[in-house]
Structure 1
Amino acid sequence: MSRTWFSQPLETVAVWWRIERRDGVTLGFTSHDRDLVFGGLHHRTAPGMVPSAVRRTATLEADSAEVSGALAHDAIGEADLASGLFDGARVAMGLVDWESLEAETLFTGTVGSVGREGQQFSAELESLKQVMARDVVPRTSPTCRAEFCGEGCTLSGVRFTHEATLAEVGAGRQWVRGAGLVASDFAFGWLRVVDGQDAGAVLRVRAVEGEWLVLDRPLAIGAAAGMRVILREGCDHTIATCSARFANAANFQGEPYLPGNDLLTRYPAVQ
């Protein structure tokens, strides 16, 4: 039988949060005034972080929760939030008895939108039921719906992933040039940083300009030539590229020759 929380006038109960970022970093926090270790993780005291009401339903309607607090904790900095390190991170939230360390999970999901007002931040948490809102049947598309080297694509991710060093970093730290690489191969791909403050972070290649890769956000301060990175080649998801460059048209996850909606709006031709 599970414990009934807050059944007594006074209880030794605190709130805890667990955040698993996409780069593999896992952080734990608690509203208690000292650190707590349970569930195999050290939960740091963060009394400034306050959860809103957690809404749970027995239906397929998505549950909701929100957490807010001051930008004061070393583990959650303004630069990290702005750079998107916490976007899409997995989150668990619950209650813990700080004496017995008995804990219960009240909410699990992912970090949705992150907002900021002055020195305060707020994060909207999306429950796992959010997956139920996705389309069961994929919509038609002239471009491929599969992630490059992902499910449905069938191409090997190892084959198109390369270890490299940065030959040059632009003044804004958003333009980078790799040593000994053909830049055009990495359009629409991604870059994972191995060294420096951004270690583990994945940045998308938004565009290619000559020998330069244009990233979706700037690298951290201190990024310089010689940094080690891992680069994944990219694909523009067109049938022409899939066939000519990758010889993978048989697995194309789209409908490139299906007439579009404009066909329905055409006037009949009068002979």
Structure 2
Amino acid sequence: MKVLSPTLAASLASGITTLCRCWIVTRTDGLRLGFTDHDEPVTIEGVVCSAESGATGSAIEQTAGLSPDGYDIMGALTDGRLSDIELARGLFDGAAVEAWRVDWSSPVDRVLVMSGTIGEVSRGSSAFTAEVRSLADRLNQPRGRIYQRSCDATFGDARCGIDATAATMRGVGVVTLTRTTRSFVASGLAGFRSGRFTAGRFVWTTGANVGTVVEVRTHLRANGGAHLELWEPMAAPITPGDAFDITAGCDKALDTCRDKFANTIRFRGFPDLPGNDYAVRYVTPGAENDGGRLG
């Protein structure tokens, strides 16, 4: 049950209110931004909720069950507060959101309506829509290990055992030729064979995309250069001279663990697990149906 301050409760009971909605977004890097649907800025807990973006929210539907609640925040993209490039780089992915109902004439009179995290974000030419998922959404996230064929360790962690900081596992490159928004040719990786960085971690260290982290889709060594393709297109143009750090990748398969890293002893999957086709096989005439192992 929401607890209202006496003055806010009295204002609501009077039938004449000066209410607005405010949202405080806390990114994973600690940056806090505020937005409001009021026509002037409102300050809450030291955060200035700006009216510049023209933010507005959909209706909030909350239930008593364990299913996650949610709503959407819509607003304009502005370079000073929230830009298209920041959204595309994923800086707001998983950010914490607090939704407040505030008396704009006296901001100390407010009530927290809902807390959650940002889910899917869609962008247009000049506006954005961000999905806010309630805290109950965490109940839908898998916990613990999954019984599966592929390895469930993170490459380079204690369970994997590979030293991802070793010179044979990391490289530093510079873009020499841009092909598309996610593929290019780079120098500096001549000492690594093709496929070394496929599924690896890629971080831009200079250029317009500096700080962006993405996964490598393919790595091919040809004609003295490294041909790289990333899984996601970059928000800003890739230009010759942009530098990056790159770490070897693993696709979690047993063959990769054995042939690429010689680390089979630490493989954390179950490669002999029968697949779906095997599980739904039925008895056929003439087969050896003695309960023994199938070939």
TM-score normalised to structure 1 length = 0.79
Change (3 A) 1:199 1:146: same
TM-fit CA distance, 1:21: 4.2
Given that 2:53 and 2:76 are in contact with CA atoms closer than 8 Å, whether structure 1 keeps it comes out as no
> Residue 199 of structure 1 is aligned with which of 206, 210, 213?
210
The aligned counterpart of 1:121 is: 128
Match of 1:133 among 123, 137, 140: 140
Residues 143 and 70 of structure 1, relative CA distance in 2, 3 Å threshold? same
Say whether the 8 Å CA contact 2:171–2:188 is kept in structure 1. Answer: no
- The one-letter amino acid paired with 1:34 is E
Compute the RMSD of aligned alpha carbons: 3.4
Matched, 1:238 2:244: no
Superposition deviation, residue 82 in structure 1: 5.0
Of the three residues 224, 233, 254, the one matched with 1:218 is 233
What aligned pairs does 1:32-43 form with structure 2 within 5 A after superposition?
32-43=38-49
Distance, in Å, in 1 between the alignment partners of 2:188 and 2:79 is: 40
Instruction: Give the 3-state SS of the residue equivalent to 2:152 in structure 1.
Output: coil
CA deviation vs aligned residue, 1:154-176 (integer Å, no higher than 9, x gap): 54554587473423241323123
Aligned length, in residue pairs: 271
User: Deviation string for 1:167-200 (max 9, x for gaps)?
Assistant: 3241323123444223632211222223333232
**Structure 1 residue 176 and structure 2 residue 184: aligned?**
yes
- Where do 1:17-96 residues align within 5 Å? 17-21=23-27, 25-46=31-52, 48-72=54-78, 74-82=80-88, 84-96=90-102
Q: 1 CA distance for matches of 2:24 and 2:116?
A: 11
How far the C-alpha of 1:98 sits from its partner, in A, is: 4.2
Instruction: Please tell me whether Structure 1 or Structure 2 has the larger radius of gyration of its CA atoms.
Output: 2
The answer (yes or no) to whether the contact 2:100–2:111 under 8 Å persists in 1 is: yes
Match of 1:167 in 2: 175
- SS state at 1:242 partner: helix
CA distance in 1, matches of 2:278, 2:160: 29
User: What is the letter of the counterpart of residue 202 of structure 1?
Assistant: V
Unpaired segments ≥5 residues, structure 2? 288-295
Cα distance in 1 for residues equivalent to 2:34 and 2:245: 28
Instruction: Tell me the equivalent position of 1:185.
Output: 196
Q: Are the counterparts in 2 of residues 165 and 225 from structure 1 also a CA contact under 8 Å?
A: no
| Cα distance in 2, alignment partners of residues 157 and 10 from structure 1 | 62
| 1:240 alignment partner AA | D
**Residue 254 in structure 1 maps to residue 269 in structure 2:** yes
Give secondary structure in 2 for the equivalent of 1:91: strand
Q: Secondary structure at the match of 2:67?
A: coil
AA aligned to 1:166 is V
How far residue 50 of structure 1 moved from its aligned partner, in angstroms, is: 0.6
> Which runs of 5 or more structure 1 residues have no equivalent in the other structure?
none
Q: Percent of aligned positions with the same letter in both sequences?
A: 29
Q: 1:97 to 1:154 in 2, by over 3 A?
A: farther
Q: 2:21 aligns with which of 11, 15, 36?
A: 15
Q: How does 1:143-158 map to 2 (within 5 A)?
A: 143-150=150-157, 152-153=159-160, 155-156=162-163, 158=165
CA contact (8 A) 2:22 2:34 kept: yes
Superposed CA deviations along residues 25-53 of structure 1, whole A, max 9, x for unmatched, are 54332233333444354433236211112
Task: State the Cα distance separating 1:92 from its structure 2 match.
Answer: 2.8
Deviation, structure 1 residue 213? 1.6
Task: Report the CA distance between 1:257 and its aligned residue.
Answer: 0.9
| Residues 146, 152 of structure 1: 8 Å contact kept | yes
TM-score (norm 2): 0.73
CA offset at residue 129 of structure 1?
A: 1.3
Deviation at 1:111, TM superposition (A): 2.3
Structure 2: which amino acid aligns with 1:224? T
